[in-house]
Structure 1
Amino acid sequence: MPDLVEVIGEPLGRVRRLLDESQLIGSKRHGAFAVPAVFIMDGRPLPSLRGTIIVLHDVGFSDDEAIDWMLTLDDTIGVAPIEALRAGRKSEVRRVAQTLA
């Protein structure tokens, strides 16, 4: 968390609120809580990330499963979903995510 606070430049309470509001997700699977660096752009959570996280939660994904899906190449999209989000292709990513239920 301290690294995330530093990267985003917000107090810990604000960072926790970003996590609670699904603007960011992270995992403790490898020890300390971590958020993938690609989820942050210009010191802020990637704007299209929140809606995508919500769609993935709605189809039953846990945070760990959502992170794995976003970081793994998807044949339908042609790249990892996070790469497509960073390129502005949020509608395509969310459409594919909705089919994962």
Structure 2
Amino acid sequence: MTEEPVEPAGWITVPDLAERLEVPVTRVHQMLRDHHLLAVRRDGVLRIPAELVAGKGVLKHLPGVLTVLFDAGYNDEEAMRWLYTKDDSLPGGTPAAALDGAAATEVKRRAQALGF
């Protein structure tokens, strides 16, 4: 992968996500603590890339990929950078975009390779 990160197409705040998922804000914070979801501070506000959320939940493979990244020593910012680094060999051009399709297992495999 090249080292050219891109910004997510959109952001969602914790309260907005809680409303969308129809759960308390504390549940979204628990999802963040459990690494089932990823957020970073932008302009002082905790924000979640909107494309990591599908309908009433997070992308199916996201928690597994995040677990692998955090086990490899990544922090939130580094995980975000990895997920949004351009990679033309993946559908959608980034690991984050590829998580929402058939290439999700390839993204997970690449994340696992980081730990070795």
TM over 0.5: same fold? yes
Distance 2:15 2:48 in 1: 11
Counting matched residue pairs gives 101
Q: Deviations over 1:36-55 (max 9, x none)?
A: 00110012111110000011
Q: Percent of aligned positions with the same letter in both sequences?
A: 36
Contact 2:90 2:103 in 1 (8 A): no
Q: Which moved more, 1:48-57 or 1:87-96?
A: 87-96
Runs of 4+ off more than 6 Å: none
Q: Following superposition of structure 1 onto structure 2, how do residues 77-88 of structure 1 map, counting pairs within 5 Å?
A: 77=90, 79-88=93-102
Partner of residue 30, structure 1: 43
More helix by share: 1
**Aligned-residue RMSD, C-alpha:** 1.7
1:74 and 2:83 matched: no
Partner of residue 113, structure 2: 99
SS of residue in 1 equivalent to 2:48: coil
Distance 1:33 1:96 in 2: 27
Which stretches in structure 1 are left out of the alignment for 5+ residues? none
Distance 2:35 2:60 in 1: 11
SS of residue in 2 equivalent to 1:35: strand
Distance 2:114 2:101 in 1: 22
Structure with the larger RCO, 1 or 2 (CA within 8 Å, 6+ apart): 2
User: What is the TM-score when the length of structure 2 is the normalising length?
Assistant: 0.76
Contact 2:21 2:57 in 1 (8 A): yes
